[in-house]
Structure 1
Amino acid sequence: MSVSPAIRLALLPHGEGLPLPAPHSPLAAGADLRAALPEGEPLELPPGGRAVVPCGFRMALPAGYEAQIRPRSGLAARHGVTVLNAPGTIDADYRGEVMAILVNLGEAAFRIERGERIAQMVVAPVVRPSFELGELDATQRDTGGFGSTGRG
C-alpha cells in the first residue's frame, strides 16, 4: 500500500465547529464534505437550480496531487442532487475555499442545512504528460466515435 499524503487544512470562520473532511467508512475513497452554511439559514435548491456551496476550509495539496469533488451517490439517487462539474478539480496551487457546485436535477426542492454532507473529495496523483505533434497509429476502432464499439 502506498503512503498517503498529508493535506494541510485551514479552517475559515464559517467552517468552525464542522467535522473535517473524512471518509465515512473504513475503505471509502472519498472524504465527505459538509455545507458550511450559517446556522439557521438553510439553502433551498429548487428543481433545476444550482448553487456554489462553501465547505468552510482551504487546503494545501502537495505538488503532484489534485482533489476531485464528486457527487454523493445517495443524494443523486434519492433527490437528483449532484455536483454540476463532476468531477470538479482542485489544483495543488489553489489556496481558496473548497466549494461544491451543486445542481438539483430532481423534481422537488432540496434543502441543504449547515453540516450536511453534500459532496465527496478524492485526492489523487496527477500525471502531467508532454504533448507533441506526430502521426497516430491505427487501431481497430480508429476514428469511430460515440457508440462505435457496440451496445454492450
Structure 2
Amino acid sequence: MLTKRSFLLTFLSLISFFPFIGESKSFNVSTKEAISLVQQDNDIYAYVEQKPEFPGGSAALNKFLTKNLKYPEKARLKNQQGIVKVYFVVRKDGSIDRISVIKSAGKLLDAEAIRLVKAMPKWRPGYNHGKAVNVQQSLPIAFHFSYSSYYED
C-alpha cells in the first residue's frame, strides 16, 4: 500500500519523465523541495516565531469571552463549574478549525466552550520565518458563578 509520501514521490518522478503537452514551462524545484512545500502548506506548528493573536490582544479576548459566554442553565442548576480547555488551529488566513475539547468540565460546559470558540472572529495568524503558518492553540475557558451576583443591592 502506498503512503501519501511515496505516492507523491512516485507521481513527481513520473511527471519528470513526461513532457507537458501544450506548455513549455520549466520548473526549477527538486522532488525533495516539492514534497517540503506540500508538507509546509498543511503543517500545524506548535511553536512559532510570532504566535497567533486574537484581534486586540488578550484583553480583547477576555472581554469577548465574558460578553459572549452563556452559562448553560442546566449546568447552573446542577452546580457544574470548572475549566474547559479547548484545542484549535489558527489557520494562515486567521480562521479557526479543528476545534476539540482536551480537558472537559462536563458535556454542557464543553458544548458552550466549543460554541464560544466557533463564534470568535478571525485571529491574526502566526508567523514563522516571515510567512503565515497554521498554529495550534489551546484556550482555558473558566465556568464559575458566584453567589454574590444573586444578591444585588
TM-score by length of 1: 0.24
**Structure holding more strand per residue:** 1
**Structure holding more helix per residue:** 2
- Structure showing greater radius of gyration is 2
